[in-house]
Structures are given as C-alpha cells and as structure tokens.
Chain A
C-alpha cells in the first residue's frame, strides 16, 4: 500500500475485511504471507515501536471502567512514556489538540462509561490521534455516528491524510468510500477481488459481482464524484 494513501476496504459481510483488519493490526497471524511496514515484517517490531508507527481503531470498544475521556485519550501517549516518566506539558497539548480535532474536548471530564456509542468512538479516534503515528487503521469508524458526524469524521480523516497520514479504513458505505478514498480494495469470500481508484474500479458489473446487487454507477457532473445507486438485489446468481 502506498505511503500517504487513503485506502478503503469494502465488501459484503463475511468477506473477510474484518479478518484482514485483524491481520494488519497484528491481532491475528496470517495463514500465509506476511505484512510489512516500511520494509520490515510487522512481527519484527516491538509493541512499543509498532504503536508509534500505527494507530488502530477497532469497531467495538467496551470500556468498563470509569476513566474520563481525557484520561482515555492520554493513554494514547503510552508508546512514548517510560516507566518512571510522568506525562509532560507536550503530552497534554497533544491530547488537547486531538480532542479538539475530533470535537471531543467538551467531553473531557465525563466518564467514558457515560458516553454514547458515537461519542465513545470519537474519543477512541482522538486517542489514536494522540499516538502521532504515520498510519491509521480503522474498522468502520463511522458506525455509530449520525450522518453529519459521519461526514465530519471522514473529512477529518481526509484532512489528516492531506497532512501526511496514511489511512486504511474498512467501510461498508460504497458512496462514502468512493467519495473519500484514493484507492479501494474490494473483498469477497476471503479474497481481494479488485483494487483501484473508485472511478475505474467501480462498474455495475463489479458491484454486482461483489455485492450481489444491480446498481447504476455514474459520475456526478457537479462534484466529479463517483455515485453508486443501488437498484435491486440480484441474488439469482447464487
């Protein structure tokens, strides 16, 4: 995957995108092959070093202990803190910045157990931001968010990307993915069946093959974005 790119992984349920996510995030070992980061296999990195390079935001985060949102985001600085070190002003600044970017600063003194799903998600993304890593991997980051917050989140990711952070997101919304990602990777039944830029990769045939729906794909005249309009389910093929 290219450095500085914005890649979205898409596919129907069960296609393996979450498994792929787990393999990239080093939660699960791949059955064959290996993942490399900057040329080195990720298995060679220590947990600390990897945490400085890669920030991972999983789909579900159930935290059962009443840390405040601020404390949770501050934990994002863990890869940089030695055992006998305490957090510095700079750490606090980074946390503040991360929370401002994600709109979570007003929540900072609230216990995380009191927050809604969307608020929690935003706090976890702020925590990932605090890791100051070059690569962000997210699994369905917009899942619990309102439409407006979904767009805000994607805009934030786009902005981070333009400032140099490489982004890999697993998404389920085709249009969202087409709008924000430079590159798409489509998966079906455990395999990557196509990669490319949205405008080239997404054709009605491809959409039918991967998602079992017939769809109209065109380019919006005003915005230049690829627009996929799902027409009807096409399960005859099965």
Chain B
C-alpha cells in the first residue's frame, strides 16, 4: 500500500469509528439527541434529556478518552521499539505499568479519605508511574550514559519488585481485591471529562516532542555508534524520548488502567504497512492505536450489554489472533532480521 494514502485512510477509519462509537451503546441515544446535545455545548447544558446527558457527559468523553489512550500507547510502543531496537519493547517495560498499578492499588485500598476527589486515583497512578520510570531511568545510567540493555533489565527488575509489592498488599488487604483487579484489567467505564482533561495535555506535549524527534529516532535505528557518528546527541535524545514516552504511557495508565497489546502490536502492524520511517510511522501509529482502542471499547461495552468486558481482555482476545494471522502471512517482513 503506497505510503501517502495510508494515513488518510487511517484518518477516515478513525472518523468512522468515532461516529459509530457515538451512536452505539448500552443506552439508546437517537441521532436527534446527539445533534441537540452537541449544540448544547455552546448554548448551555442546563436542561438535557437523559439521552443527551448520557451522550454528552458519558459517551463522548469516553470515546475521546479511548482514542487518546490508544494513540498514546501506540506512540509509546513505537518509540520504545525504536529506542531499544527491539520488536518486543512496549510501553510497560520502563516501569510505567507497575508504578501506575501501585499508585492505584494504594488509593483503592487506603485512600477512602481521598476518594471524594474522583481524580485522586488517576493522579496517584500517574505519580506512581513516573516514580517507577524515574527509578528505572536512574538505575540505567552507566558512567553518565544510558545503556539500553541496563534500561531493559532495570525495567524488569523494578516491575517485578513493584508487582510483588502489589501482590503483598493484595494478600494483606483482601477486601479491595476485586477493585484492584478490575483496575488492573483496564477499563473506560465511569470515565468523564476530568479524565480527558488529565491526559490531553500530556498527549499533546508527548506527541509533539516525539514527532519532532523523528529524524533522531530514524537514525538511532542504525545503532548508537552510527547515530553518534551522524551527529545525533544521544545524551540529549534518549532522556527526552524516554521522558516523553513515560508521560504518554503514564497518563494512559493513570486514566484507564493497564491495557496491554496496543503498545506492542499496533506499532508492528503499522510498520509492516507503512515502513520504519518515523515521520509517517508516528502519526500512523497514533491513528491506528486510536482506531483500535475505540473499536475495542465499542465491543467491550456493547457485546455483553449492560455488562462491560474489561477492555484489556478485549484487546488481547481479538488483537492477538489478528496479529498471529499477520505474522503468518507476512513472516518475512516482520520487524527485525
């Protein structure tokens, strides 16, 4: 597929998914109500019908959130696969997932006093994610330089340790087990505009920074030595890219819990079709991730309505077989030699 039409196609797909997502759901909202709810944004939202309310306050923020989270995870995965030159890299290996989970677990178990702030959970999850990533980063500095191997290993070590802490907390404080477990599986239910407001600035900043580093990302794929010989300042590029990734992935984890698969597979799929040039890969991955998670969320909330399937289950259940299919048909061209 020629590169130039792939991104517009992705854009159209995303648009279609957004429309579909807005229209379907456990509660029926008529097209008329959608239109009147949209205009109510400008005219005043005091007297909304149930349908309008659902659409404006529940569904719209949710679909926007799932799109932004999907894009964030996909971009993070793309950058980390480039930084580590490893097709197995995904957003959680730098410690974001375990740190975020620890933050969320602490709030769920001990934060009853804080629960009046509906955003205390995301905030603590975010802080946890950043703290864990900071620790991983700090551990991986060797002689003032970042060794990617050490980064990988530190990520594994810190994640294991933190996961063990969470497991310990769960055994000692079993009452909130279900809440924690549910959070860990990822979800967009009961999310509102507050969550969107939380992730949006990090998404915009993270995306912008990473996109404008596309040349460095490309050249770094040739190897650290070659990149340095071509003039890339690795000691500046690596920390910047890692920080941007941590922001993106941390924000995603904090608002939606752990959603696996997106950050690992979407970059691969997009790279298979559009190639490794990050100038097109980053936007394409963002669009692809947004589309994928949006559709996954539609499935999560409609298939067993009114019950919601945790979205992490949907992404793995439907995503993995598709990826296996891709692997088998395109075995020669997947990622690395």
A residues adjacent to B (C-beta < 8 A): 25-27, 46-52, 54-56, 58, 61-67, 71-72, 75-76, 78-79, 81, 83-84, 113, 131
Contacts and interface: CB of A to CB of B under 8 A. Distances in A.
Contacts of A76: 230
Enumerate the 5 nearest inter-chain pairs by beta-carbon distance, A residue then B residue, closest first.
A51-B231, A79-B231, A64-B336, A48-B231, A65-B276
Interface in B218-266: 218-219, 221-223, 225-226, 228-234
20 contacts: A25-B225, A26-B228, A46-B233, A47-B231, A47-B232, A51-B230, A51-B231, A52-B231, A58-B226, A64-B221, A64-B336, A65-B276, A67-B221, A67-B275, A67-B277, A75-B219, A76-B230, A78-B230, A79-B231, A131-B230
A7 B212 CA distance: 40
Contacts of B215: 78, 81, 83
Contacts of B218: 67, 71, 75
Given A78-B215, A113-B337, A66 B231 contact: no
Contacts of A47: 228, 231-234
Q: Is the interface of B mostly helix, strand, loop or mixed?
A: loop
Contacts of A64: 85, 221, 335-337
B49 interface: no
B334 to A, nearest CB: 10
A67 B231 CA distance: 19
Range for the number of chain B residues in contact with chain A: 20 to 34
* Candidate in A47, A79, A131 with the most chain B CB atoms within 10 angstroms: A47
A83 B277 CA distance: 15
A78 B228 CA distance: 11
A50 B231 CA distance: 7
A96 to B, nearest CB: 19
Contacts of B222: 61, 63, 72, 75
Contacts of A58: 225-226
Contacts of A54: 229
B333 interface: yes
B221 A79 contact: no
